[in-house]
Amino acid sequence: MADAGAKAALYDALAEAAKALANGRRAELVDVLAQGERSVEELAAEIGQSVANTSQHLQRLLRSGLVRSRREGTRVYYSLSGPVVGDLWGAMRRAAQEHAEGLEQLAADYLGDRSRLRTITRDDLRARLRDGDVVVLDVRPEAEYAAGHIRGAMSIPIRDLRSRLGEIPDGADVVAYCRGPYCVYADEAVRLLADRGVSAARLEDGFPEWARARLPVGRR
């Protein structure tokens, strides 16, 4: 008969990944790292934490095997340990969306009223890219665009969009995207473009979901 202690130890080990993600800041880190490799300093800025606190969270993720690190000079860079980590985060997020009470209101408190924002599905965007009748706008930071982006997308980080509106072709129909369904950058881009009279929609999710669906990706 199998040893009960060994069984308990096995399930405890299997739960380590979930325990590592059972913290909002670590979940944020995984969400950012799903876009590509980043330094500790960059990650700290992205999640609004000190470098020391961010490093502690990253060490917890590292011990659980969810991320890996490399050193370049004095800087340490982190990345997800594999695509399955992004899948895990996506599954956790979907489970919360479907079953966690109050999540919709929390999202509305953060993202604002989305009722007037046009959205487009991945399948529809793929078809429009084939037809060549849409401008796809990546509003994530430049480092994330360089690590991977929807093939054919132009990069204008959200912080630069107001000053670079002239780069968007006149009369264009624009689809903006960023990190995922709870990323505010694309919402801000669509609202800004709409205020300027530009036809704009946001992709319903973000780049990681596009890549996991094995849709066309570019890198530079």
Q: pLDDT tens digits for 129-158?
A: 999 889 999 999 999 999 999 999 999 999
Active site residue 178: yes
Q: How far apart are alpha carbons 108 and 122 in whole angstroms?
A: 23
Kindly report whether the global pTM for this prediction surpasses the value 0.95: no
Whether the pLDDT of residue 22 is over 60: the answer is yes
Task: Look at residues 19, 52, 87 and tell me which one is the last residue of a structural domain.
Answer: 87
Please report which residue ranges of 15-121 form alpha helices under DSSP H.
16-21, 24-33, 40-47, 51-63, 83-99, 103-111
Give the angle 64-19-50 at the CA atoms, nearest 5°. 75
207 with 124, same domain: the answer is yes
Residue in 29, 178, 200, 203 annotated catalytic = 178
Cα–Cα distance for residue pair 125/175, rounded to 1 Å: 8
In a domain, 93, yes or no: no
Segment among 29-38, 70-79, 104-113, 136-145 with least mean pLDDT: 104-113
Q: Among residues 185, 135, 187, 159, which one has the least CA distance to residue 35?
A: 185
How many domains does the chain divide into?
2
pLDDT greater than 80 at residue 2: no
Domain that holds residue 47: 4-87
Confidence of residue 87 (pLDDT cuts 50, 70, 90): very high
Is pLDDT above 80 for 204?
A: yes
